[in-house]
Structure 1
């Protein structure tokens, strides 16, 4: 699957959010993970309450801002928030968590807890790699099979915009951001982004070695060789990650 790097995406976007939020009083970070985005937003919006939701919320940041809190929650269930109580909801890289049959429910829950005029901003990378070489293509095909087995939608980014509108949101904007994997770009900044993205992918493949060895029934040596070939393919085929960003508003 595509891996997510907060600092890489923030650097590429030049900001933590694209939504036109102004003086929000309540911000919710869905799938907060290590809580870094929520921590940064709490420091930036000192008059807002920032809530990070996650199945396993972070236990760090004990000395964080007083306007920051974390709540244990499963995004596939109901959000532990009151109706019309939130100004802004942010979510990213949840395609490998939200089941195919739950996307509509998740969006409806966001609509429920948002105040009229409130915004959502969802950032989701395509689950497949763009410009893949043959070995990376095999990895992606395998992940697609696993998504079917796990009840996930491998191609959810192609229909998410429609589902957002069906949930009752308006003024939807869809942006795309392509981040290279590897140092193949000529532009110095893109080259730096590509280096970081490639290192992130390398770490992911290293950490998932046991998973792929078990499910592919391949040896450690063969897996290591496949990873080396993938890393070379990123450079040779000019591979990149495509991030999709949907910004939408709950009607007034």
Structure 2
């Protein structure tokens, strides 16, 4: 399947760039693209759910040339160049996936918390369970909606996000809710890891300082990309919003703020 003739907006490309930064941040912090045990035998199938700009799927396809890697999303990446074992499939992941039962060895998904309503997570996990082979694994990565150790301006942003979640049906506490949902779906050998990544260059450790710089820049890009949305919802002027963003970025270093990421690895029983 090929991507429909869609012209991506300037906003889309800015978001693709931000996703790229977050990808390399998580890959560097985790020292890997995946923590789950992988079947890398010839013919094994890996799915990247909500593939976005496709960078994770591309890197996995290059790393494991005998494995088939499929990226699923409503819109396919603008650039689909890659090895022969990589394919992108247009698919609404909240509907039935175009594959049979027990067909996939590994399913990866990350950073979907703000794109999924609370009621959609249960059916999505059931669809993962359906297409996964017995003994296959899922790996989910999501971060808390709120920033840890926030300053007063960041607290205002977090409160606003919480209200928006209530209005749109998004689960603000998803990183707690997923524990139960994964277990209730039927997965076993559930392993949850938590990873804190600094916001800003306040750590003394040089590697963490670098991670903090990248994380802060990605957060800054997110605030800038969604500027029009924020000023419309808050009734702020552009300069007032810019000032609030400046204060938030300074608070990160002053208050030693950080983002908490959660990773679930779980198996479909044999």
* Equivalent residue number for residue 9 of structure 2: none
1:61 aligns with 2:80: yes
Q: Distance in 1 between matches of 2:79 and 2:212?
A: 29
Q: State the Cα distance separating 1:98 from its structure 2 match.
A: 1.4
Aligned mates of 1:201, 1:45 — CA distance in 2: 31
- Give the equivalent residue in structure 1 for 2:169: 151
| 8 Å contact kept, 2:39–2:105 | no
Q: Is the 8 A contact 2:80 2:88 kept in 1?
A: no
Unpaired runs of 5+ in structure 2?
A: 1-17
TM-score, length of structure 1 as denominator length: 0.97
Deviation at 1:68, TM superposition (A): 0.4
Task: State how many pairs are aligned.
Answer: 249
Q: Is the 8 A contact 2:199 2:213 kept in 1?
A: yes
Deviations 1:198-247 (A, max 9, x none): 11111111111111000000111110110011001100111101110000
2:230 to 212, 227, 236: 212
2:219 to 186, 201, 213: 201
The answer on whether the counterparts of 1:76 and 1:99 sit within 8 Å (CA) in structure 2 is: no
1:17 aligned to which of 22, 34, 42: 34
Please, which of 197, 203, 207 is the counterpart of residue 185 of structure 1? Answer: 203
SS of the aligned residue for 2:146 comes to coil
On the 8 A contact 1:125/1:241 being kept in 2, the answer is: yes
Q: Is this contact kept in 2: 1:75–1:98, CA < 8 A?
A: no
Q: Secondary structure at the match of 2:266?
A: strand
**CA distance in structure 2 between the aligned counterparts of 1:80 and 1:125, rounded to whole angstroms:** 28
Q: CA deviation at 1:148?
A: 1.1
Q: 1:250: which partner in 2?
A: 268
Output one character per residue of 1:163-211: Cα deviation in whole Å (capped at 9) or x when no partner.
0010000000000110000000000000000001111111111111111
User: Would you identify which runs of 4 or more consecutive aligned residues in structure 1 move more than 4 Å?
Assistant: none
Measured in 1, the distance between the counterparts of 2:253 and 2:212 equals: 9
Question: 1:33-72 alignment to 2 at 5 Å?
Answer: 33-62=52-81, 64-72=82-90
Shift of 1:22: 2.9
Distance 2:258 2:93 in 1: 28
**CA-to-aligned-CA distance 1:115-145 (integer Å, 9 cap, x gap):** 0000000000111111111100100110111
Q: Deviations over 1:40-82 (max 9, x none)?
A: 00011111110000111113132x1000000111122222221
Q: Do residues 176 (structure 1) and 194 (structure 2) align?
A: yes
State the shift of 1:21 in Å: 1.1
Output the CA distance in 2 between the equivalents of 1:214 and 1:185. 35
CA RMSD of aligned residues (A): 1.0
How big is the shift at 1:159? 1.4
